[in-house]
Amino acid sequence: MAAAFAEITFTPSVKAAQSAYGSREKNSRFESAEDARNRLTENEAEFIAGRDSFYQATVSESGWPYVQHRGGPPGFLKVLDERTLGFADFRGNLQYLSVGNLNANDRIALILMDYPNRRRLKIWGRVRIVRASEASELIAQLEVPSYRAHVERGIIIHVEAYDWNCPQHITQRYTQAEIDNLIAPLVTEIRSLKAQLAAVRG
């Protein structure tokens, strides 16, 4: 059994590049892996639930790739089952580049980042676009009630493969909420010390 992502991505030209740069033998192990990596486990589900953004790539009819950033509250990308992801597609700049691409070619690739912990998950899949007016129950399942944004459609992704990347070259970055959480003990200590100093000064 081969890792599903290797079956998708290790094309003849990729294998040739691996051979040219001396990594063919190392990468060939993915072609005889026991785990196909096409069914999400609790580990992937937990990671996905914690993300507040991801990058998605689609391909146009002219062959050009288009990479788009998608954002929302943590958990807006939902694991519906071990082979299915979904998210509510919020109204954006009205160019509809990704939607148009997906109408012609249902393939999609996602990259989900955890910058503080330097982790990265790649997912390959095929998309089914669901109109909000045609599947109200499914859209309700994808909505995030606390997030005020107009939902135009649902994006359902059948997972074909996934892979975890190594942490090399991932620069650590933090959201404002993560920074606030990290410095909270320091803020508390500073307030306590100020109160003690004020008491001493009378």
Average pLDDT over residues 127-156: 86
Q: Work out the pLDDT band at 11, boundaries 50, 70, 90.
A: very high
Average pLDDT over the chain reads 92
- The pLDDT of 22-48, averaged and rounded, is 94
Confidence band of 65 (pLDDT split at 50, 70, 90): very high
Cα 24 to chain centroid, rounded: 28
For the chain, domain boundaries: 1-36, 38-171, 174-202
- pLDDT, position 15: 95
pLDDT tens by residue, 39-63? 999 999 999 999 999 999 999 999 9
Residue 68 has a pLDDT of 95
What is the DSSP secondary-structure string of the chain?
---HHHHHH--HHHHHHHHHTT-HHHHHGGGG-S----S--HHHHHHHHT-SEEEEEEE-TTS-EEEEEEE-STT-SEEEETTEEEEEEE--SS--HHHHHHHH--EEEEEEEETTTTEEEEEEEEEEEEETTT-HHHHHHH--TTS---EEEEEEEEEEEEEEEP-TT------HHHHHHHHHHHHHHHHHHHHHHHHHH-
- Averaged pLDDT for residues 182-196: 91
Is 80 exceeded by the pLDDT of residue 202?
no
pLDDT of 1: 64
Cβ 84 vs Cβ 126: under 8 Å: no
Place of tokens 């993560």: 178
- Is pLDDT of 146 > 90? no
Classify strands 107-114 and 53-59 as parallel, antiparallel or unpaired: antiparallel
Report whether pLDDT(149) > 80.
no
What would the mean pLDDT of 109-137 be, rounded to a whole number? Answer: 93
CATH of domain 38-171: 2.30.110.10
- Top-confidence residue, 149 or 130: 130
22 backbone dihedrals φ, ψ, rounded to 5°? 80, 20
Query: 72-76, 140-144, 162-166: which has the minimum mean pLDDT?
Result: 140-144
